[in-house]
Amino acid sequence: MTRPTKTIIGLTVLFISCGVLSAQTSGISGQVVDASGSPVAGATVLYSNVPPFTRDSSGHLVQTGPSINSGTTTAQDGTFAVSGLPAGLYYVCVYGPQSNDLSPCEWGTGALNAQIADEQIFSAAPIAISSGTLLIFRVNDPNSLLQDIAPPTVVGGRIPLSGGNFKIGIMAGTRYFRAIPSSQQGTQHLYTVAVPVGASVRPFIYSSLVVTSLTTGAAMATGAASPAIIVTGQPQQYVDLQVQ
């Protein structure tokens, strides 16, 4: 995906500013940019409200207003606009189109908090996404033992909720990111997760199989975090494992 040049942001910034402007309907507008300030086309912008709840006399939580979970995609100039939203607080998260893009909702300072009043458009400051390293776990499975837990596939129109014997991800501090199964090449399964350059992350494997590091020959912990990996500045970084 090609990203527009900085000249476009120069034009768009004319109407992008922090604050709330009057409008016919309530909504959110803004622009997604990369670390250099260039607009990002094709970014996913997700927004959700905070639906109201109260408790009844028995202590049960009762929802008293609507939930809203939806999204849109940025235009070539990185801008987005959503209208027709009821007033209220919305959390806005953006996700870049590249596999190594890092969302500020997961790696930055968090979601944009957009407090929308009636008949107003919340105009957000540019939201920046950054690029990281794609950490690739190459898992050799010579005996065809590996079956993914929670595979990102759909069977019979349903997302599977059982089965499998292997799941891999990373812990970054107390936050867990799953490495997504991306492909299989022969006996090798590839799992990818984007992480910031220079980050210290710990692989977290859950498996009933024996998992060994092909780099050190040591068994990897399962059901717990392994020793940290320092992420280099390369676009891709590999971790080689074997299951048996």
Partner 1 sequence: MLTTRTAAPALVILLSLAFTAEAETISPAKLEVNLGAFPVDNYCDPPNTGVNGASCVNNSIFPNTNGVCTTSISVRECVRRFFNNNPANGTVVAGNYVSQGITGVRLFFTLGGRANSTPFTGSNHAVNSTWITQLTQLFKDLKLWGIQRVTPLPALDAAYGGMISEMSANYPNTSGCPSGSKTLYFFPWLPYGLVPNGSSVGGPDQTQGVQAYYCSPYTPSNIWWGWGPIVGTGGVIDQVLGAAATAGLSVTEFEMQNENDLENFSVEARLIYDITTGTDVTQMVGQLMTNHNFKSTGVTLSVKSGNACDSAGCINDCASLFGDSARIVDTDQLQSAFYGGVFGSPPYVSYNGTMACDDSSSHGCGAVGSQGWYACATKGMLILPGSHPVPALTDIHNNGCLLISTSNPSCDLSGSVSVTSSQTTFYNDVWGYLQYRGLTGDPILFGETNSNQPSTACNNDTPTITQQNAAGFEASTLYSSDATNVYLRPWNTATSSNCVTPILLGAPNGPYK
**Site residues (CB under 8 A) for partner 1?**
44, 46, 48, 50-51, 53-73, 91, 93, 95, 103-111, 149-150, 152-154, 156-162, 167, 169, 171-176, 178, 180, 204, 206, 223
Question: Minimal distance in Å, beta carbon 108 to partner 1?
Answer: 6
* Least Cβ distance, residue 70 to partner 1 (angstroms): 6
- Look up residue 18 and give its amino acid: C
Q: Which residues, other chains included, contact 202 with Cβ-Cβ below 8 Å and sequence gap of 6+?
A: 170, 171, 172, 225, 226, 227, 228, 229
**Residue with Cβ nearer partner 1 (64 or 144):** 64
Closest CB 66 distance from partner 1, rounded Å: 5
CB-wise, 37 or 51, nearer to partner 1? Answer: 51
Q: Which is nearer to partner 1, 59 or 217 (CB)?
A: 59
- The least CB distance from residue 135 to partner 1, in Å, is 15
Contact 204, 194 (CB under 8 A): no
**Residue 147 burial by CB count (10 A; 0-12/13-18/19+): exposed, middle or buried?**
middle
How far apart (Å, rounded) are the C-alpha atoms in residues 117 and 160? 40
